């Protein structure tokens, strides 16, 4: 080290203290020359071979394909869960059989003015509608079980739109209810319903449409219910009026005024009437008998055509679906 101002040639300062070496021992440049403290503290810009490489993460895509895939997953889960529950399948078939063969046979002995038409034939469309009614609404409120066991929370935090969850549930409920209704269509011949392909396809389509609307109604009822114990009384309170005021078990003509009003504001009435009108169009009966058993829904004396009955069921489906989507938009 050369002598500078205030430093002697032997390495001591003028005040007798030892001079401090400003280089960092053991630190050199690529050429072998020692580096100063400032240059040693500067981080290296060259890439290091020991850095951890993070694997790329594939985010969930968007668009219609992703939406349809989410709907399909929820729909498939509902179908598989229904197919694996034999108790639910058997119990869902017992009630329609009781209505059709026990209640229908008993009432056919006392009901007059059928002019040779089996009362069970009249009862068949209503029983089909009631069958999908019960199955579909319980498919809708099954989301309460999903909420209790935590599966609903997992679906809500998934990278999918919540409307896809609602649509998938509705399609799943419509599918399971309609599949169960196929059993009733298969035994329709036992009560005088003809096996006409167009008739059976029409009834199946109406079952799909009705069960979709009722499943959406079940979702609306269960949207803010936390426990299944609270959901069951609510569903029974909604189902009983819809069943007894639908005209499924009796003709809706010549009713008292107050009962006519209630049957006409019941949306299930139009689903039952659409099915009954379709069945009666394939029966060979006189006009007077049909007017007695199938008077149709009238608004101030004007009979609602069958096409409008179907449109009203479609409107009910859209309204219930929209309501369910809006209710499930809020976070759990």
Write out pLDDT tens, residues 152-178: 777 777 778 888 989 999 999 999 999
- Of 265, 143, 132, 283, the residue nearest 211 (C-alpha): 132
Residue-wise pLDDT for 37-89, tens only, equals 444 455 555 555 556 665 565 545 567 888 899 899 999 999 998 888 888 88
Residues 130-150 have a mean pLDDT of: 86
For the entire predicted model, the pTM comes to 0.77
The more confidently predicted of residues 310 and 159 is 310
Contacts of 210 (CB under 8 A, 6+ apart): 129, 132, 133, 136, 268, 271, 313
Task: Please give the mean pLDDT across all residues of the chain.
Answer: 81
The domain ranges of the chain are 64-327
Q: SS3 breakdown of the chain: % helix, strand, coil, rounded to 5? A: 60, 5, 35
In the numeric block, which tokens belong to residue 278? 């379709």
Q: Is the pLDDT of residue 315 over 70?
A: yes
Query: Counting Cβ atoms within 10 Å, is residue 278 exposed (0-12), middle (13-18) or buried (19+)?
Result: buried
For residues 222 and 298, the answer to whether their CB atoms sit within 8 Å is no
Cα separation, 168 vs 158, in Å, equals 14
Overall average pLDDT of the 119-139 stretch: 91
Between 25-29, 103-107, 147-151, 286-290, the lowest mean confidence (pLDDT) is in 25-29
Pairing state between β 298-299 and 34-36: unpaired
Kindly report which listed range (158-167, 174-183, 185-194, 323-332) carries the lowest average pLDDT score.
323-332
Measured distance CA(49)–CA(159) in Å, rounded: 36
d(CA 303, CA 299) in angstroms, rounded, equals 6
Q: Which residue has the higher pLDDT, 9 or 219?
A: 219
């Amino acid at each position: 080290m050369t002598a500078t101002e205030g430093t002697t040639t032997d390495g001591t300062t003028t005040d007798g203290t030892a001079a401090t070496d400003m280089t960092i021992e053991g630190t050199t440049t690529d050429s072998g020359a020692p580096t100063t403290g400032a240059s040693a503290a500067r981080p290296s810009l060259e890439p290091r071979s020991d850095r951890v490489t993070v694997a790329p993460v594939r985010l969930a895509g968007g668009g219609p394909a992703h939406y349809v895939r989410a709907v399909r997953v929820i729909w498939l889960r509902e179908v598989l869960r229904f197919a694996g529950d034999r108790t639910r399948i058997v119990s869902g078939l017992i009630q329609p059989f009781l209505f059709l063969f026990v209640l229908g046979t008993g009432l056919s002995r006392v009901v007059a003015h059928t002019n040779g038409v089996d009362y069970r034939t009249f009862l068949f469309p209503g029983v089909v509608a009631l069958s999908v009614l019960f199955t579909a609404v319980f498919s809708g409120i099954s989301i309460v079980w999903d909420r209790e066991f935590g599966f609903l929370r997992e679906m809500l935090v998934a990278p999918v739109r919540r409307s896809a969850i609602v649509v998938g549930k509705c399609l799943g409920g419509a599918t399971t209810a309609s599949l169960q209704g196929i059993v009733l269509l298969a035994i329709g011949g036992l009560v005088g319903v003809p096996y006409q392909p167009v008739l059976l396809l029409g009834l199946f389509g109406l079952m799909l449409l009705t069960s979709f609307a009722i499943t959406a109604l079940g979702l609306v009822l269960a949207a803010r219910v936390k426990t299944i114990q609270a959901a069951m009384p609510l569903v029974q309170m909604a189902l009983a009026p819809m069943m007894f005021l639908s005209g499924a078990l009796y003709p809706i003509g010549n009713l008292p005024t107050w009962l006519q009003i209630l049957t006409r504001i019941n949306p299930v009435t139009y689903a039952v009437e659409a099915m009954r009108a379709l069945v009666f169009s394939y029966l060979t009966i006189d006009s007077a008998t049909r007017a007695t058993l199938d008077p149709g829904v009238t608004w101030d004396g004007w009979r609602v055509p069958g096409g409008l009955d179907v449109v009203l069921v479609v409107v009910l489906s859209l309204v219930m679906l929209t309501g369910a989507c809006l209710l499930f938009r809020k976070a759990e």
